[in-house]
Chains A and B, each alone.
Chain A
Amino acid sequence: MTWIDIGALEDIPRRGARVLRTAQGCVAVFRTADDRVFALDDRCPHRGGPLSEGIVHGDAVTCPLHGLVIGLADGRARDAEGGKVETYPARIEGGRILIDAARLLPEGRAA
């Protein structure tokens, strides 16, 4: 695992998200109402909508484009054939958000 500090928990509103730019595309970093963080590819499996702009409820987000509901923990759509987005381990330490960047760093930079 390659834990990288990407910002303060306070930088993301509760029930909201911010985007992390990576060499592999954008990752949406979510903060739930009860201060848990999740990182998922910022591309809805339906037609690529930016999940980071969706409404966050419980531990799910509703895609802003056509309303698919995606579980934050497993990246899976809550309906049968909705598909799945990639998830990345994330945690909070001393008010900072850490993400496992093993699969996100540019080629050759991963530890």
Chain B
Amino acid sequence: MPPESEICGCNGVCKGTILAAIAGGATDLGTVRARTKASTSCGSCTGLVEQLLAHSLGDAFRKPASRPVCGCTELAHEDVRRLIRARGLKSMPAVMQELGWKTSCGCATCRPALNFYLLAEWPETYRDDPQSRFVNERNHANIQKDGTYSVVPRMWGGMTTPQELRAIADAAEKYQVPAVKVTGGQRIDLLGVRKEDLPRIWADLNAAGLVSGHAYGKALRTVKTCVGSDFCRFGTQDSTGLGIRLERRLWGAWTPHKVKLAVSGCPRNCAEATCKDVGIVCVESGYEIGVGGAAGMDVKATERLAKVATEDEAVEIVVAFVQLYRESANYLDRPYKWLAKVGLDWVRAQVVEDRDSRAALVARFDRAQAIFQKDPWAERTAPEARAAFTPLAHLAAEAAE
């Protein structure tokens, strides 16, 4: 590879820049990242960067067996989760102190991870820390490159009504939304909303019964469905109804990474269920549940987790699967990455074969949902909450007083 060939596509870092950094004393991944920005966005070039390190440094470079969470600790994600559980660590300061964090209040890598682990472990007592969340989750909308936000209301199973559409259209006009887009997950995206308008647009959408679609979160995103047996001549089951049911059950839960579902009414698979984190394909005799699909930077078909006869059992297995993922995956590992580490058999044993374990997972999920299944938009439309979305002051105005 010539020195000018690009290694990190996200940040436009070429081989020569990385080699220069290594020659200049960057002898581990963290330092190369800090100095060059290579491998700091999507991370898919991490392996290439490590190869360059290994090649340049020879034996002097040892790829760590399990990578520490970040520069604040030597511990890997798995260790941190285990120790939070084993030692009953219930707050971020407790974790940092007990586990010997090297920094006073962590960094932008470990804090969101710790916030999730604590939230997942102690749903009743841990208080979510907005300052340890990435901007999108803190503001409950997706930041765009010009600093405006996009707003995506939830449409259960991809279904909507004329009233909802009217409310969305009204909001788009009222707040002069520059672009309205239909997303890949069967939702409507209002792009270009100003931060200070967010609580107002949410209040308007709430009034029409629309809630946050969590398009910004490491959370349940969407359940995409086809029209199924209600309308389609090939439909074997009510795929839309099952999708709506799953979405109503799962929304609001925080997960290690985003989670996307789909339900197709027959093997023609119009909802593209076989490349989702969880995808159900309905057949005459029941429901085929696949997991671990992906259609992003990696493309992967789902693997069969179970085939069940009833909708109730399908829902239960999906809920148990999502809870096991919440309890055991590393922060920012999508289900397919997590499955590659723990193995599908291990997961199947707990969510399909062992009925007690399945029931216990479902119970723990529902316990957490009693707390997390609240519309974050509705909680931020009150006047006191709105202040956080406005500027602290306008200096020109102050000075004129």
Contact = CB atoms under 8 A, between A and B. Distances in A.
A21 B131 contact: no
Interface in A58-111: 58, 62, 64-69, 78-80, 101, 104-106, 109
A23 interface: yes
B395 A57 contact: no
Nearest to B397: A21
A47 B399 contact: no
A59 to B, nearest CB: 9
Contact of A12 (B105, B392, B398): B392
A50 B40 CA distance: 18
B363 interface: no
Contact of A67 (B40, B105, B106, B138): B40
Contacts of B131: 13-16, 55-56
A66 B41 contact: yes
B34 interface: yes
Interface in A5-51: 5-7, 11-16, 18-23, 26-27, 29, 33, 47, 49-50
B111 interface: yes
Nearest to A28: B392
Contacts of B387: 11
Contact of A64 (B143, B394, B396): B143
A68 B395 contact: no
Contact of B391 (A21, A68, A78): A21
A28 to B, nearest CB: 10
B395 A18 contact: no
A103 to B, nearest CB: 11
A47 B391 CA distance: 22
B392 A29 contact: yes
B392 A62 contact: no
Contact of A79 (B34, B103, B130): B34
Contacts of B391: 18-21, 26
B147 interface: yes
B392 A4 contact: no
B37 interface: yes
Chain B CB within 10 A, most for which of A23, A64, A109: A64
Chain A CB within 10 A, most for which of B145, B147, B388: B147
A6 B399 CA distance: 10
Contacts of A16: 130-131
Interface string B117-155: 000000000000011111100110001010100000000
B161 interface: no
A53 B130 CA distance: 11
B393 interface: yes
Contacts of B392: 6-7, 11-12, 18-20, 29
A105 B40 contact: no
B113 to A, nearest CB: 12
B400 interface: yes
B109 to A, nearest CB: 8
Interface string B44-71: 0000000000000000000000000000
B179 interface: no
B108 interface: yes
Interface string B91-106: 0000000000001111
A54 B105 contact: no
Contacts of B85: none
Contacts of B82: none
Contacts of B388: 13, 18
Contacts of A49: 147
A80 B131 CA distance: 27
B92 to A, nearest CB: 10
Interface of A: 4-7, 11-16, 18-23, 26-27, 29, 33, 47, 49-50, 53-58, 62, 64-69, 78-80, 101, 104-106, 109
Given A53-B143, A104-B395, 16 more contacts: A11-B387, A11-B392, A13-B388, A16-B131, A18-B388, A20-B391, A21-B394, A22-B396, A49-B147, A50-B147, A53-B135, A53-B139, A55-B131, A57-B108, A69-B34, A105-B395
Interface of B: 10-11, 34-37, 40-41, 103-108, 111-112, 130-135, 138-139, 143, 145, 147, 387-388, 391-396, 398-400
22 contacts: A6-B398, A11-B387, A11-B392, A13-B388, A14-B131, A18-B392, A19-B392, A21-B391, A21-B393, A22-B394, A22-B395, A26-B391, A33-B105, A53-B138, A55-B133, A57-B108, A58-B103, A64-B143, A66-B41, A79-B34, A80-B35, A109-B400
